[in-house]
Amino acid sequence: MNPNIKAVELEKAYRLLNHGPTVLVSASHGGVANVMSAAWACALDFAPPKVTVVLDKATATRRLVEDSGWFVLQVPNVGQLDLTYQLGHTTLTELPDKLARAGANLFRMDGFEAPLVEGSSAWLMCRLIPEPHNQQTYDLFIGEVVAAWADERVFRDGHWQFEHADPRWRSLHYVAGGHFYAIGEPAIVKT
Amino acid sequence: MNPNIKAVELEKAYRLLNHGPTVLVSASHGGVANVMSAAWACALDFAPPKVTVVLDKATATRRLVEDSGWFVLQVPNVGQLDLTYQLGHTTLTELPDKLARAGANLFRMDGFEAPLVEGSSAWLMCRLIPEPHNQQTYDLFIGEVVAAWADERVFRDGHWQFEHADPRWRSLHYVAGGHFYAIGEPAIVKT
């Protein structure tokens, strides 16, 4: 495993999503693994940390989340721009080698079945909190974050280090039609 | 009214939130108006457009949303950095002149009671979709966007124009402790 991957304290896990990045959602069940990108993911609580993510009924990943009860949200970076776009615009149903085509390599963390995507900046391991009404009516899924990790080259001491890291580590923020923005410079309140 | 404020087509309203900015949440009821900042707001659907936002039980704004059934999400910018921070770190319950102290000036749009904050980049007028279980258990509120506007100096032709606008128009993405990031440069997939 990449030696730069370090555990993130659970009480600071919300900071991995607080600035609103586009994420990759991964899950596996019955020997099938998949990953999709999602702009609609959000922190929901601090302690225990919870998240929301919107998973359309047409996605193969949604089915894996429902069947396994687990998913991973990972924060991709500018170095994964093409991968992030491709994972959001192809479907495993039509392209069985979707992951290979997008260049997505998976790994696992001890104690967890759900797969993680190599090269990302951060990972949140989430246990699904079943809420059938939200899932059916709004495609809205809620998870409790039970473990989190980040690459210390871009997140350490409980803070993103975008301004100190290589630009390829900047998080991606999707708009539409293949257009993302990378996260920019710090704006710090003088208190 | 600021002549640069233009209506945004409802089918493109999700783009105002898609890149994950911190927002200002405003609401009013019974002659009381308030605004709070919130990092945990997210698009939920395209058509009709819907949004989620997390409103803690301790906030005065939450009560106004519950009582009126309406709220506005607005996208603040670097020019509103101090205002955004202050609106998230003071409460109307303790500081009755919270809005004046933060320098928040409100206005209204024809046909709607909920107040908007001047100087923001975009505004989404939302009708609360009551979901008592989500509100009580998760502090999670769902709204349908019934109208949207943006300042054409930073959003026009259905797209953010951050790279063409003055840097003061960049959206804010909160981390913690008074530290935000401004949105950065475009990252565009070559298709």
CB contact under 8 A, A138 and B189: no
Any chain A CB within 8 A of the CB of B157?
Answer: no
CB contact under 8 A, A52 and B39: no
Q: For position A190, what pLDDT does the model report?
A: 86
Interface of B with A in 2-41 (CB under 8 A): 15, 18-22, 39-41
Instruction: Provide the token pair at A115.
Output: 């797969």
Contact B61, B25 (CB under 8 A): yes
What is the DSSP-derived secondary structure letter of residue B96?
Answer: T
- Tens of pLDDT along A51-94? 999 999 999 999 999 999 999 999 999 999 999 999 999 999 89
Give A87 to chain B, closest Cα distance, Å.
13
Give A31 to chain B, closest Cα distance, Å.
30
Reported ipTM: the value is: 0.97
Question: What is the residue type of B81?
Answer: L
Mean pLDDT of chain B: 97
Answer whether residue B23 is part of any domain: yes
Any chain B CB within 8 A of the CB of A135?
Answer: no
Residue with the two structure tokens 């002149």: B97
Give A178 to chain B, closest Cα distance, Å.
5
The CATH code of the domain that includes A159 is 2.30.110.10
Interface of B with A in 92-131 (CB under 8 A): none
Count of other CB atoms within 10 angstroms of residue A11: 12
Residues of A in contact with B44 (CB under 8 A): 40, 54, 138, 140
For residue B19, give the nearest of A42, A81, A173 by CB distance. Answer: A173
Residue with the two structure tokens 């939450």: B62
pLDDT higher than 90, residue A176: yes
pLDDT higher than 90, residue B173: yes
Is the omega angle on the peptide bond into residue A132 within 30 degrees of 0, that is, cis? no
Q: For position A8, what pLDDT does the model report?
A: 98
What is the distance, to the nearest Å, from the Cα of residue B141 to the centroid of all Cα atoms in its chain? 14
Residue of B nearest to A21 (CA): B20
Q: Which of A5, A17, A7 is nearest to A49 (CA)?
A: A17
Any chain A CB within 8 A of the CB of B67?
Answer: no
Rounded CA separation A156/B66 (Å): 39
- Tens of pLDDT along A100-158? 999 999 999 999 999 999 999 999 999 999 999 999 999 999 999 999 999 999 999 99
Rounded CA separation A145/A118 (Å): 19
- Which CA distances in Å does A50 have to A37, A128, B89, B94, B136? 19, 10, 22, 29, 15
Question: What is the residue type of B156?
Answer: R
Answer whether residue A189 is part of any domain: no
Indicate the number of domains in chain A: 1
Give B31 to chain A, closest Cα distance, Å.
30
Q: For position B190, what pLDDT does the model report?
A: 86
pLDDT higher than 90, residue A44: yes
- Tens of pLDDT along A2-17? 999 999 999 999 999 9
Residues 6 or more apart whose CB falls under 8 angstroms from that of A103 comprise A82, A83, A86
CB contact under 8 A, B19 and A138: no
Any chain A CB within 8 A of the CB of B78?
Answer: yes
CB contact under 8 A, A52 and B42: yes
Answer whether residue A188 is part of any domain: no
Residue B98 burial (C-beta neighbours within 10 Å; 0-12, 13-18, 19+) = buried
CB contact under 8 A, A181 and B178: no
Answer whether residue B102 is part of any domain: yes
Answer whether residue A14 is part of any domain: yes
Phi and psi torsions of A102, nearest 5°: -80, -10
Q: For position B1, what pLDDT does the model report?
A: 75
Answer whether residue A191 is part of any domain: no
Any chain A CB within 8 A of the CB of B188?
Answer: yes
Any chain A CB within 8 A of the CB of B155?
Answer: no
Helix (H) or strand (E) holding A87: helix A81-89
Q: How confident is the model at residue B72 (pLDDT cuts 50, 70, 90)?
A: very high
Rounded CA separation A190/B78 (Å): 13
Residue of B nearest to A83 (CA): B189
Q: For position B115, what pLDDT does the model report?
A: 98
Residue of B nearest to A12 (CA): B176
Domain limits at A145? 5-182
Answer whether residue B188 is part of any domain: no
Q: What is the mean pLDDT of residues B29-56?
A: 98
Rounded CA separation A103/A89 (Å): 14
What is the DSSP-derived secondary structure letter of residue A1?
Answer: -
Answer whether residue B189 is part of any domain: no
Any chain B CB within 8 A of the CB of A57?
Answer: no
Q: How confident is the model at residue A1 (pLDDT cuts 50, 70, 90)?
A: confident
